[in-house]
């Protein structure tokens, strides 16, 4: 009986301790405009990296580079339009 009483008190004490711990507040969610700005910066960064890779490719001909840049610019424009619609 004594062991049961001690284990019950210990269990209740631990459960109260666990429930009393404070949880950190979640970080605030970014506003819609902040989210669009972040995505836009990421898109610009990715566009510049891909453009640099295309222009510095050692085996691609001038015509191939032009075609790839044209496709990249079209993709970039369409993604920018989608961001602005948000």
Per-residue pLDDT of the chain (86 residues; tens, 9 = 90+): 666 667 776 556 656 555 556 667 778 888 888 999 999 999 999 999 999 999 999 998 999 999 999 999 999 999 999 998 87
Is residue 7 a part of any domain in this protein?
no
* Range of the structural domain that residue 85 is part of: 30-86
pLDDT recorded at residue 18: 54
pLDDT of residue 25: 77
Q: Is residue 1 part of a domain?
A: no
Instruction: Look up the pTM and report it.
Output: 0.64
**Residue 81 covered by a domain:** yes
Give a yes or no: residue 60 inside a domain.
Answer: yes
Count of domains for the chain: 1
pLDDT at 21: 60
User: Which residues neighbour 35 within 8 Å (Cβ) at sequence distance 6 or greater?
Assistant: 86
For residue 61, the model assigns a pLDDT of 93
């Amino acid at each position: 009986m004594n062991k049961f009483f001690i284990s019950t008190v210990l269990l209740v004490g631990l459960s109260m301790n666990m429930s009393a711990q404070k949880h950190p507040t979640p970080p605030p969610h970014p506003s819609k405009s902040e989210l669009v700005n972040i995505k836009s910066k990421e898109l610009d960064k990715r566009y510049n990296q891909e453009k640099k890779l295309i222009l510095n490719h050692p085996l691609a001909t001038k015509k191939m580079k032009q075609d790839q840049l044209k496709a990249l610019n079209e993709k970039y424009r369409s993604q920018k339009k989608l961001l602005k619609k948000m």
